[in-house]
Amino acid sequence: MSTTLSKVAIVTGGARDIGRQVSLKLAKAGIKVCFNYLSDPKNAEETLALIKEAGGEAIGVQGDMTKAEDVKKLSAACVAAFGNKVDYLVNVTGGLLGRKVLADLDEAFWDAVIDVNLKSVYLVCREIVPMMDQGSSIVNFTSQAARDGGGGGAMAYAAAKGAVLTLTRGLAKELGPKGIRVNAVSPGMINTTFHNTFTKPEIRANVAAATPLKREGKPEEVADLVWYLLSDSSSFINGESVEINGGSFFA
């Protein structure tokens, strides 16, 4: 356990897959973690158990990060548990929700995809940034889809993640003078529930075969990158989006 026990992190979407590994990575570094989850208490309980087993300290808070009142609930719970200062913020919340081509892309679906991927980042940053001081840092989640337009039926998702990339750069300019860094990670094909749900096995196999490293990425590898970007090891990196895709795409 490190000596950063006074540090506090908020991780949205922090109960499963990449979010879980980010929560666990931070907790293992001695950081107190307040993670959010949407609807599955079992995932939250498992994540809390893993953190406790690793000697860390965390709370899990249910809420929909597309709703301002739930974001405030997350903030209040974190303040009650760990105080009113946040050192690290990781916005993992997001998702594809489904694959729809333009002809089938109804307005309600478009709005839902934009909200969960983009509005959530805006709402959480608006709420949490006032609790952050000089030396704090934020990592947002964009996607390889933001650069290449995404796979079939992922246009809305790609557009939302592209907007997260732009939002990250705008925040980096606005918050940099206050000593708060803002960066993003841009995963390619990572072995997660996301692809278990929305990507056919044969497509996953083809993508892995076409990747120079000949495999999918692991959630733990993304978590390692997130921690690097949060930490002082990356103290002069700001407004950047780092691709993590095994060499399948170069920005």
Q: Is residue 3 part of a domain?
A: no
Q: Which of 226, 156, 158 is nearest to 10 (CA)?
A: 226
Residue-number span of the structural domain to which 50 is assigned:
8-244
Backbone region of residue 243 per phi and psi (left: phi > 0; alpha: psi in -120 to 50; beta: other values):
beta
Quote the number of domains for the chain: 1
Please report whether residue 78 resides in a domain: yes
Instruction: Residue 78: give its domain's CATH number.
Output: 3.40.50.720
Asked whether residue 57 is domain-assigned, the answer is: yes
Does the pLDDT value for residue 4 go beyond 70? no
User: Where residue 198 falls among pLDDT bands split at 50, 70, 90?
Assistant: low
In a domain, 1, yes or no: no
Structure tokens at 198: 């929305």
Does residue 139 lie within any of the structural domains? yes
Q: Has residue 249 been placed in a domain? A: no
| Distance, CA of 75 to CA of 73 (rounded, Å) | 5
Amino acid in position 242: V
Q: Look at residue 192 and tell me if it is in a domain.
A: yes
Whether 251 is in a domain gets the answer no
- For residue 212, how many other CB atoms are within 10 A of its CB? 9
pTM: 0.93
Mean pLDDT of 73-81: 98
- Residues marked as catalytic: 157
Structure confidence at residue 5 (pLDDT): 47
